[in-house]
Chain A
């Protein structure tokens, strides 16, 4: 008959608490089997037995603290089974075993065992209402110790952030908030997110088929009257206060388009460039070269801006427009600018602009080219002092070295504030754009 005693698991260990028995009376054990879990002042440790045989009695109840050396179980070694081959298992030395005991081979914990937690720990967790699967175990092999549970935060998982209106709409529209991604501050789910989700969930078949007379595009009349009024007020102010002058020039895009086609060949669609990206980059660089057009008119004086924040006039599908800012357009490499532009425009149309994007562009670009017009002479957004208009890229006859040929061209225009600059400055700006577009590789 052998005894299983409270082991000394460290030089300074005087006592230990039995946390859990991993065996029961009558069970056969082999030397080296983990039979109990003991908690010391430092950690929770799985303890192996040093004898083989049958557990005849458990002498200590879980939860009891006993001095090192106290008998905790008796093992009847008479009926010992053959020793388990331990050689091929990796050896984990038991921490500071008592000198009279042989170190025994341990074994790494399996995944399942790691998830096992002791009754004491489970009881504590239950009392505190803690889900053990969320607790990080600091004990050996990731075992969750009493101290882990005691220090585990007791708050329930973070509450879903949704505005009251969003919650109400979600309920009435049958949308599950849990599946939504919020676009508000700190990921807050807002009414628009719920509405968007509700639209997505509508089965297509449920839509009644409309007669063919239905307009292909939603009518602009559906746009908010407030937005119209806002544009009206701003544009009226611009035309009332700003003495506009206008310049126009035709830019040969042969080099730029050839370069772009070359760049786009073999690229996946998502990484391809569109002409407007090149044009915007050229405008941004020109704005840096001619800083007299990049900035704001404040208190009867022109205040040049530090960087170039291009306002991109984006027409909205329901009618109206917005001009979010594309920051650092002059310094951003072209592929990044392209990506930023796509992102900005799609979010502008989706009503998902960030606050930083709605403030203080230093120069606005309006690009009506995609709608087929050749030139656009725009109205300046106060307090900016200039607006660049880009028309459609069209094939046109041009004279090159005395020969007529056909090249893609675009008409670039400038509306500028005569208080802040004169025509010569504006001309310098448009010329800069033209020159920049002849060397697309440098953009």
Chain B
């Protein structure tokens, strides 16, 4: 998956997981867990959804890479084969 597709995907999943959130208003380096007031269960829902959509296992050790839009996009792009 290329980086742009990954970015779209993460925004789509965020909008799903956090009702009422507008991911398009997030800045790329912002910690969205804080901005969107996501608790650990919300975050788990996000990780689960991302894992389901990408097929990546997303181990717990990698959670810190998944706090920002850029972080997620880079992670997904680098862990999936280019589309």
Contacts and interface: CB of A to CB of B under 8 A. Distances in A.
Interface of A: 209-210, 212, 214-218, 261, 264-266, 268-270, 272, 274-276, 315, 317-318, 341-342, 345-346, 349, 367, 370-372
Contacts of B38: 370
Given A216-B26, A346-B45, A371-B39, A272 B21 contact: no
Q: How large is the interface on B (under 10, 10 to 19, 20 to 34, 35 or more residues)?
A: 20 to 34
Contact of B44 (A272, A317, A318): A272
Contacts of B20: 217-218, 317-318
B34 interface: yes
A266 B58 CA distance: 10
Contact of B40 (A212, A215, A265, A370): A370
Which 6 residue pairs spanning A and B have beta carbons closest together?
Answer: A370-B39, A218-B20, A269-B48, A274-B40, A269-B51, A264-B60
A212 B44 CA distance: 28
A175 to B, nearest CB: 18
Given A217-B18, A217-B36, A349-B19, 20 more contacts: A215-B22, A216-B25, A216-B26, A216-B35, A217-B20, A217-B35, A217-B37, A218-B20, A264-B59, A269-B44, A269-B51, A269-B52, A269-B57, A272-B60, A274-B40, A274-B41, A315-B37, A317-B20, A345-B41, A371-B37
B80 to A, nearest CB: 16
B47 interface: yes
Given A265-B59, A265-B60, A214 B25 contact: yes
Q: Name which of B22, B35, B52 has the most chain A CB atoms within 10 A of its CB.
A: B22
B60 A275 contact: no
Contacts of A265: 59-60
B22 A210 contact: yes
Given A269-B58, A270-B48, A342-B44, A212 B39 contact: no
Interface in B4-61: 18-26, 34-41, 44-45, 47-48, 51-52, 57-61
B28 to A, nearest CB: 13
Contacts of B57: 268-269
Contacts of B35: 216-217
A379 B23 CA distance: 34
Contacts of A269: 44, 47-48, 51-52, 57-58
A270 B44 CA distance: 8
B49 to A, nearest CB: 9
A217 B25 CA distance: 9
A275 to B, nearest CB: 7
A217 B41 contact: no
Contacts of A367: 39
A342 B18 contact: no
Contacts of B24: 209
Contacts of B18: 217, 317
